[in-house]
Amino acid sequence: MATSTNPRWRTIDIIIASVIAVASGVVFWAWNYVWSATEGAFAFFPPAQTVLYGLWLLPAVLGGLIIRKPGAALYTETVAAVVSALLGAQWGALVIPQGLVQGLGAELAFAALRYRSYRLPVSILAGALTGISAALFDFFVWNSEYALGSYRIPYALITVASSAVIAGVGAWALTRALAGTGALDRFPAGRERAAI
């Protein structure tokens, strides 16, 4: 279902986007250790580890689906990255521009549809575009020394798939679950339960 929204942010929009971002930043901090701890399990094919990547991209899509305002996906993912960095992410302050680039991917999906559609296919598209932006950032910043065909391309493809499923489908399911509780009644996502 297409919906039009007032592009102006309300105080509650800022508060909820910030809550999502801060909670996600704490999850990121913990997920960083899960990533490090699972490296050995993927030694057979290291790019396969990116099946775990989508969790880092979830707040971008979730923020966009709930807030439904221009900049929500970008804001939520970037603030989550800042919180992760402040908590001591092992990759340092580089996670901040990385979060900005990742949030931009989801933002582009919502913007392409003029912030008017928030159905499952749009959420999957937002997840996939967030994965593409993440893979491109990693392609040049973290993985530039690795072989193109045997590492960087499989890494990118698996990242996009993980993001479409975990960030795209996952954020849509989480939004639906939250809407079902009434927690989102002050947002279009809560008032249009059948459309999300």
Predicted local distance difference test score (pLDDT) of residue 194: 43
**Contact present, 118 and 176 (Cβ < 8 Å):** no
Rg (alpha carbons) of the chain, rounded to whole number: 16
| Stretch 74-84: mean pLDDT | 97
| φ/ψ of residue 38, rounded to 5 | -95, 0
Longest dimension (CA), the chain: 50
Per-residue pLDDT tens over the stretch 153-190: 999 999 999 999 999 999 999 999 999 998 899 998 88
| DSSP secondary structure of 151-168 | IIHHHHHHHHHHIIIIII
CA angle in degrees (0–180, nearest 5) for 61-99-30: 85
Q: What is the pLDDT of residue 193?
A: 56
Alpha carbon 17 to chain centroid, angstroms: 13
Give pLDDT, residue 196: 44
Contact 102, 61 (CB under 8 A): no
pLDDT more than 90, % of the chain: 82
- Whole-number pLDDT of residue 189: 86
DSSP symbols for 28-72:
HHHHHHHHHHTTGGGTTSGGGGGGGGGGGGHHHHHHHHHH-STTH
Domains of the chain from N-terminus onward: 11-195 (1.10.1760)
